[in-house]
């Protein structure tokens, strides 16, 4: 049975794909080579990877790097096939993240990497999730490269990076509701997407997508306090995927839902309206009115 693939996100820099294989037990594929640098996580099942004369059983416990430089063959010693998430990066970006090619393609991946790739797949499916998807992708490659022992060394922060980060902060302050990609922002900053993603977090203290989300949420809070009624339209206008995504992010940031804040604001406005006539009457009496 042919494998099923579903592209969750794709740009010229990276792609995120779900891959489902239902091969029968004992099946063995032909020798292949990856078209580009691919980082693969298994989310269900297992497969046997043969490469460089060695065999490795790949399960949800592992991170696998497929490279055009290394031929491989896959077989299925267990029934049920496997489901995977495949992250492909442009070669120059992958080289900056991963450094030299690893000696072996398979390594035990820490639990944090597994959680990160599930977050990546989730972000890739969301409307308005481009910036978060790209940041998560670069961070995941960097973490996997560290696991593989091949991570590129960090670069010192210099004036060019600081100027670029400042420019991005200015741009986001004015255009936070837009679904700007990492490449869009990097182009404005005069930096590569990789260096902006890494450098912004180091200099500002939070990842780019969280910084932008904070601006969106603060704008949303002001709109809710001003009496905005249609929270779904507000969420979409400010760049959130849907009402539930907006509500979760709002509660995580401010400790209450937009509806609860709106109700609280309505109570305060009502109380103020009830108090104002009495205050005005007392003032008139004090002046003999």
Name the residue range of residue 92's domain.
4-148
Please indicate, yes or no, if residue 282 is contained in any of the structural domains.
no
Percent of the chain as helix, strand, coil, to the nearest 5: 50, 20, 30
Q: What pTM was computed for the model?
A: 0.70
Please indicate, yes or no, if residue 271 is contained in any of the structural domains.
no
Please indicate, yes or no, if residue 174 is contained in any of the structural domains.
yes
CA distance readout (Å), 16 to 5, 9, 40, 202: 10, 5, 10, 25
The per-residue pLDDT for 101 is: 54
> Do residues 169 and 195 both lie within one domain?
yes
The per-residue pLDDT for 66 is: 84
> Do residues 39 and 138 both lie within one domain?
yes
CA distance readout (Å), 127 to 9, 132, 222, 231, 260: 10, 11, 23, 17, 25
> Do residues 36 and 113 both lie within one domain?
yes
Q: What own/partner pairs with CB < 8 Å and gap ≥ 24 does 95-98 have?
A: 95/152, 96/152, 96/192, 96/194, 96/195, 97/138, 97/141, 97/142, 97/145, 97/151, 97/152, 97/194, 98/37, 98/65, 98/141, 98/142, 98/144, 98/145, 98/148, 98/150, 98/151, 98/152
The per-residue pLDDT for 37 is: 83
Please indicate, yes or no, if residue 175 is contained in any of the structural domains.
yes
Find residue 107's DSSP bridge partners.
63
Dist CA 130 CA 49 (whole Å):
32
> Do residues 8 and 96 both lie within one domain?
yes
Please indicate, yes or no, if residue 285 is contained in any of the structural domains.
no
| 69: its two tokens | 């430089």
> Do residues 17 and 57 both lie within one domain?
yes
Answer yes or no: are the C-beta atoms of 235 and 242 closer than 8 Å. yes
Answer yes or no: are the C-beta atoms of 1 and 53 closer than 8 Å. no
The per-residue pLDDT for 107 is: 66
Q: What is the CATH number of the domain that holds 168?
A: 1.10.10.60
For the chain, list residues with pLDDT below 50. Answer: 275, 277-289
> Do residues 105 and 205 both lie within one domain?
no
> Do residues 9 and 106 both lie within one domain?
yes
Please indicate, yes or no, if residue 283 is contained in any of the structural domains.
no
Please indicate, yes or no, if residue 163 is contained in any of the structural domains.
yes
The per-residue pLDDT for 110 is: 67
| Number of domains observed in the structure of the chain | 2
Q: Is 220 helix (H, G, I), strand (E, B) or coil?
A: helix
> Do residues 29 and 123 both lie within one domain?
yes
| 185: its two tokens | 């922002």
Q: What is the CATH number of the domain that holds 102?
A: 2.60.120.280
Please indicate, yes or no, if residue 287 is contained in any of the structural domains.
no
> Do residues 17 and 109 both lie within one domain?
yes
> Do residues 120 and 171 both lie within one domain?
no
The per-residue pLDDT for 284 is: 43
Dist CA 262 CA 51 (whole Å):
59
Q: For the residues of 32-69, what is the DSSP string, one character each?
A: B--SSEEEEEEEEE-EEEEETTEEEEE-TTEEEEE-TT
Q: 3: Cβ–Cβ under 8 A, 6 or more apart, which residues?
A: 19, 20, 21, 22, 23
DSSP strands (E only) in the chain: 4-10, 14-21, 37-45, 47-51, 54-58, 62-66, 73-75, 82-89, 106-108
> Do residues 93 and 187 both lie within one domain?
no
> Do residues 143 and 167 both lie within one domain?
no
């Amino acid at each position: 049975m042919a494998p099923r693939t579903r592209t969750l996100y794709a740009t010229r820099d990276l792609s995120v794909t779900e891959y489902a294989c239902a091969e029968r037990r004992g099946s063995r594929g032909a020798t292949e080579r990856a078209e580009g640098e691919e980082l693969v996580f298994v989310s269900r099942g297992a497969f046997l990877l043969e490469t460089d004369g060695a065999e490795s059983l790949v399960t949800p416990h592992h991170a696998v790097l497929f490279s055009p430089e290394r031929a491989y063959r896959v077989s299925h010693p267990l029934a049920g096939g496997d489901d995977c998430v495949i992250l492909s990066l442009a070669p120059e970006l992958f080289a900056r993240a991963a450094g030299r090619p690893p000696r072996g393609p398979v390594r035990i991946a820490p639990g944090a990497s597994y959680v990160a790739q599930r977050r990546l797949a989730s972000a890739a499916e969301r409307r308005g999730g481009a910036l978060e998807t790209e940041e998560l992708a670069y961070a995941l490659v960097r973490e996997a490269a560290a696991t593989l022992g091949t991570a590129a060394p960090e670069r010192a922060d210099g004036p060019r990076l600081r100027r670029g980060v400042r420019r991005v902060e200015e741009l986001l302050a004015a255009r936070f509701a837009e679904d700007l990609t990492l490449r869009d922002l990097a182009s404005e900053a005069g930096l590569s997407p990789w260096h902006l993603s890494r450098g912004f977090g180091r200099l500002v203290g939070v990842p780019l997508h969280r910084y932008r989300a904070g601006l969106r949420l603060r704008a949303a809070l002001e709109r809710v306090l001003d009496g905005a009624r249609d929270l779904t339209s507000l969420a979409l206008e400010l760049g959130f995927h849907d009402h539930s995504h907006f509500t979760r992010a709002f509660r995580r940031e401010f400790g209450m839902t937009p509806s609860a804040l709106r109700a609280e604001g309505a109570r305060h406005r009502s109380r103020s309206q009830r108090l104002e006539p009495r205050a005005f009457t007392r003032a008139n009496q004090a002046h003999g009115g």
